[in-house]
Structure 1
């Protein structure tokens, strides 16, 4: 598939943009584990225009990230166009518009998935962003506002008409948030519509290689996007690629292998943040989800989540490797919630 002039071979795998997750160090680890395309955390157009330092930090890009997009969101057309121009100066490979985030504090301002209730404005916003930059512009959205308003087919056509180069579709409505099951049937309808000619990327509930292959067969989408399934499991991208290529499952990693990855990610995070405590707080989400199905692991996990300095974490990790380093994790009952 292509995004503008970006050529992506086979069925490319995308790391979904996630607030407080897809920051620099996690992107680095995912890239080493086979992801093809990544995004920054989503950034507010208003904060971008006001030059909020925290927002600028979210958009720091390394050459190893590429191809990578900066994702922006907002409710005002002119602010979005201005924000896109500012983001372009940081030299991402493309700009992405968030039309999918269901968070109440964002939706009540009229941004993200709120625009599923106003498709003409969604189309106009996309068109304004496309006109404002020379980079390709993509978008991510949901099936619709609620069960009675699944407007994704019309939304996809409008976004295509606005000049969007590719569209990622999460298989839930805004009202579902992240509950229930993702509906891939409608994603398949978008992909196979005779009116749709841009690449369609499917997103929602991809929790392993077999699910990825099943959804690819069901829909024929051009690419697959993994979000929560990669938290605590960044090697999911290599696992999916291997399965799609060979039909065989890779063995899950051992606890010792996971510890090595977490140590590397923690080190990169500390270097990036320049603050040990902040880095540790950012890592706790990954600590919590990294050891599914390991027997008698609860006390180890609690200690990891309570530790507040690098010396304590290093000691806890050494103890974990000593006691259960050879054990393999078990993803069979791992929840994405």
Structure 2
């Protein structure tokens, strides 16, 4: 199994949970880490929210001792504030500091943040230089193929990042214009890998062990990042690690294993967020966990009416038996 080094951090393997807003919270990260992910990435956190001491940000910053190594991801567009906030939080127990230049959502892009920074390489360079100087931990960056098909500048941005002292770059093979539609372009990942000496992590359309192997072989990238394919399926890390290591894919989880995972997930949500929030946040996870199962359509209809943990448990016991 290939172990991946990012700065002075050595991962168990090169299979990584991608940062996903509203998904990669502490409970989900723990489950993915225990399922075999070599690195788990936190939800993106606004540097300005830390600066203004936003009350919801502290929960996003919480890290469990058993989930490490963990990557904390900041986003923003003010180099001074980003660097100052990185310095302020650097004693927290994350191993790697990531900077987001890939988020496609309008409220982020319209502020000149996320993937909008790919249109402004000079500002991107200013931010990355400031971050590397501000913290002692390895700094990484997540980018896309480009903002749109007319401006596919991932190679340029990766070279800038390397020159700034960034320790690794993750490349999503879609443009901002694509969001998550269509196919990811693995060729751009290969071009980035050939252009820089720092580790390159490929992202996009890795939804199975064989797809992970194919990306590694076709692009030469150093690691793979799993996003939406992990939703409702933390076992994907176990499966990919096993396949890359031994050539064997474990048997898929049976109904009882799925039930245990869901209830463990719900317990962690309850423990960290309280019943009201936990139940509401579990609704989307329940839909993902049960996709394609017999009677899952009817089960999903009942999910939004769940208000208590006992109702959730009863519903899970009903569908899984």
Of the three residues 150, 153, 171, the one matched with 1:151 is: 153
Match of 1:180 in 2: 182
Alignment match, 1:82:
84
In structure 2, what is the equivalent of residue 219 of structure 1? 219
Aligned residue number for residue 8 of structure 1: 11
For 1:171, what is the secondary structure of its paired residue? strand
Give the Cα–Cα distance (whole angstroms) in 2 for the partners of residues 293 and 246 of structure 1.
28
Aligned counterparts of 1:70 and 1:304: Cα–Cα separation in 2 = 31
Partner of 2:284: 285
Distance in 2 (alpha carbons) for counterparts of 1:229 and 1:128: 34
* TM-score in terms of structure 2 length: 0.96
Contact 2:16–2:225 (8 Å) recurs in 1: yes
Q: Is the 8 A contact 1:287 1:305 kept in 2?
A: no
RMSD, aligned CA: 1.2
* 8 Å contact from structure 2 (residues 11, 69) kept in 1: no
Q: What is the alpha-carbon distance in structure 1 between the residues aligned to residue 179 and residue 32 of structure 2? A: 25
TM superposition shift of 1:225: 0.4
- After TM superposition, which residue ranges in structure 1, 4 or more long, deviate above 4 angstroms? none
Who is 2:202 aligned against?
202
Query: In the TM superposition, what is the alpha-carbon distance from 1:258 to its structure 2 partner?
Result: 0.9
Is the CA contact (8 Å cut-off) linking 2:19 and 2:41 kept in structure 1? yes
Q: Distance in 2 between matches of 1:219 and 1:285?
A: 33
Farther-moved stretch of structure 1 (244-253 vs 15-24):
244-253
TM-score scaled by length of structure 1: 0.92
- Paired with 1:160 and 1:75, the residues of 2 have a C-alpha distance of 19
Q: Distance in 2 between matches of 1:19 and 1:153?
A: 25
Question: How far apart in 2 are the matches of 1:112 and 1:214?
Answer: 28
Q: How does 1:74-113 map to 2 (within 5 A)?
A: 74-113=76-115
CA distance in structure 2 between the partners assigned to 1:73 and 1:296 by the alignment: 41
- In 1, Cα distance between equivalents of 2:320 and 2:288: 17
Structure 2 residues not aligned, in runs of 5+? none
**CA shift at 1:12, angstroms?**
0.9
1:96 and 1:77 map into 2 onto residues whose CA distance is 14
Deviation at 1:112, TM superposition (A): 1.1
SS at match of 2:38: coil
- For residue 53 of structure 1, report the CA deviation from its aligned partner: 2.1
Q: Give secondary structure in 2 for the equivalent of 1:159.
A: helix
Instruction: Quote the Cα distance in structure 2 between the aligned partners of 1:321 and 1:25.
Output: 22
Deviations for 1:127-185, whole angstroms, at most 9, x for unmatched residues?
Answer: 00111111111110101110011001111000100110000000101111111110001
Q: Give me the whole-angstrom Cα distance separating, in 2, the residues matched to 1:206 and 1:291.
A: 20
SS of equivalent residue, structure 1 residue 290: helix
User: How far did 1:239 drift?
Assistant: 0.5
- Give distance in 2, aligned partners of 1:19 and 1:198: 26
Paired positions, count? 318
- Deviation by residue 1:277-307 (Cα, 9 ceiling, x = unmatched): 2001111111111123223322123223431
Residue 91 of structure 1: how far off its partner (Å): 3.0
2:16 match: secondary structure = strand
Instruction: Give the secondary-structure state (helix, strand or coil) at the position aligned to 2:174.
Output: coil
| Corresponding residue for residue 327 of structure 1 | none
- Report the CA distance between 1:86 and its aligned residue: 2.0
Residue in structure 2 matched with residue 255 of structure 1 by the alignment: 255
Conserved 8 A contact 1:255-1:291:
no
Q: CA deviation at 1:85?
A: 1.0
- Segments of structure 1 that go 5 or more residues without pairing to the other structure are 323-337
